[in-house]
Amino acid sequence: MSKAAMTLRPIRTEADYKAALKQVEPYFDDEPKPGSEAGAHFDALVTLIEAYEARHFPIAPPTPVEAIKFRMEQAGLTVKDLEPIIGKSNRVYEVFSGRRPLTLSMIQRLHAQLGIPAETLIQPMPKWVA
């Protein structure tokens, strides 16, 4: 890649973003060695692209229920497996439906036993049920 092609520019517009994606694309087929000039260029481009995406395409954090269900899927857990953490299966279903909020002790056990980040679990539950 020529020196001109390795010039970095701020990503301020959609056109800048598309140009940066096009510029970084060849690196995914032939990733440069870390510490090389091309490797530094690749890292800088990826950083610029990630910053632009974080500003313009933010991803909302999961709700507590989404986080619990995702962890269940990852670990192959069932509602029965959550009983020691949340309570009887009807209580688990009440939490999943939004009729019952997580208590502090539930949050602590979910964090300690399933590794779900506490900051994810302490978000307010959605108001699905009036």
Domains of the chain are 4-56 (no CATH), 64-121 (1.10.260.40)
Residues 6+ apart with CB under 8 A from 11: 17, 20, 48, 49, 51, 52
| pLDDT tens-digit readout, 70-129 | 999 999 999 999 999 999 999 999 999 989 999 999 999 999 999 999 999 998 765 544
Give the per-residue pLDDT at 130: 35
Q: Check residue 4 and give its pLDDT.
A: 47
d(CA 87, CA 94): 10
pLDDT tens, residue by residue, 35-61: 899 899 999 999 999 999 999 999 888
Distance (Å, rounded) from C-alpha 76 to C-alpha 26? 38
Helices 64-75 and 104-114, packing angle to 10 deg: 30
97: its two tokens: 């439906």
pTM of the model: 0.60
What is the torsional sign of CA 90, 91, 93, 99? positive
Q: What is the DSSP code (8-state) at residue 67?
A: H
Q: Does 28 score more than 80 pLDDT?
A: yes
